[in-house]
């Protein structure tokens, strides 16, 4: 599988989603987020993922504008906070904070209140040319199917927690069958997966970092992967996943770390913070 930093997945709306990018969940608004985005763009990242709930859209937008990278070369994602009432109105507010006139992808951050109620306003955001594409995050296979029944514009992506330890194979299969690309957030388990003995063994055997092994595993599963970091050395190192390939034995060993039973759920019941 030949992948590069500029490799993409073609979404159902025809746009190209980079297979690798930077997530800024838990990055503080201001200098921390601005530096992280600037370093990522300097290192060749072209996908930046934020959200209304992260409260750092203003800093993301500032870093993009000051980077010197043309806006059209950057794939910019934000997410509708479903505690709000109108996804189209909130998209306009996001664009103002980001300082841009369009999004590449706009996601419902989680299915609070059910998977369908916010979708007509998401579609209205496309109609108003506020975003090129719309999708979902933290939606299960069942919720995706429910949404598909009422959608005039189908979701193009589902962003979910995904790593060898959260190997949601059933959900990936359901999404792919529906023409929905899966994007992996927290591929490093917010750091807790980096010290796993099997991950470190494979890292040592391949001459790469545990983070690189975990990211590469997600890429070889065909996903778009968005690790988060605010440290320049790690941002650069995380992009160093395109000069090696995990062999079948390493992939199988990582597959075996799954704790979800290869579920088609997006989160465990206890992990659904909106319930």
Q: Which residues are catalytic?
A: 54
**Rounded to 5, what percent of the chain is helix, strand, coil?**
40, 15, 45
Partners of 23 in the beta sheet? Answer: 49, 228
Q: Are 33 and 74 in contact (CB under 8 A)?
A: no
> How do 75-80 and 22-23 pair as beta strands?
unpaired
| Distance in angstroms (rounded) separating the CA atoms of residues 49 and 27 | 11
Rg (CA), the chain: 18
Q: How far apart are CA 111 and CA 136, in angstroms?
A: 8
**CA-closest candidate to residue 155, choices 127, 122, 130, 184:** 122
Helix axes 87-98, 119-127, angle to 10 degrees: 50
Dist. CA 81–CA 249, nearest whole Å: 41
Nearest to 74 by CA among 10, 6, 155, 11: 6
Angle at 184 between CA 182 and CA 91, to 5 degrees: 75
How far apart CA 177 and CA 90 sit, in angstroms, is 30
């Amino acid at each position: 599988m030949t992948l590069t930093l500029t490799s993409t997945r073609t979404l159902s709306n025809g746009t190209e989603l980079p297979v690798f990018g930077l997530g800024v969940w838990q990055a503080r608004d201001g200098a921390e987020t601005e530096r992280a985005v600037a370093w990522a763009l300097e290192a060749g990242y072209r996908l930046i993922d934020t959200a209304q709930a992260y409260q750092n859209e203003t800093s993301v937008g500032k870093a993009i504008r000051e980077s010197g990278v043309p806006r059209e070369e950057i794939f910019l994602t934000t997410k509708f906070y479903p505690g709000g009432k109108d996804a189209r109105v909130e998209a306009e507010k996001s664009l103002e904070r980001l300082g841009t006139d369009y999004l590449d992808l706009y996601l419902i951050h989680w299915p609070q209140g059910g998977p369908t109620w916010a979708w007509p306003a998401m579609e209205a955001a496309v109609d108003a040319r506020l975003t090129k594409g719309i999708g979902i995050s933290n939606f299960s296979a069942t919720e995706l199917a429910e949404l598909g029944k009422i959608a005039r514009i189908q979701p193009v992506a589902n962003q979910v927690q995904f790593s060898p330890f959260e190997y949601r194979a059933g959900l990936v299969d359901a999404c792919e069958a529906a023409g929905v690309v899966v994007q992996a957030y927290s591929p490093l388990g917010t750091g807790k997966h980096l010290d796993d003995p099997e991950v470190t063994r494979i890292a040592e055997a391949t001459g790469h970092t545990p983070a690189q092994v975990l990211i590469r595993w997600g890429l070889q599963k065909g996903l778009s992967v968005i690790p988060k970091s605010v440290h320049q050395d790690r941002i650069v190192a995380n992009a160093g996943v395109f000069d090696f390939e995990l062999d079948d034995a390493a992939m199988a060993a990582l597959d075996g770390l799954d704790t979800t039973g290869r579920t088609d759920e997006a989160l465990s019941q206890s992990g659904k913070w909106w319930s």
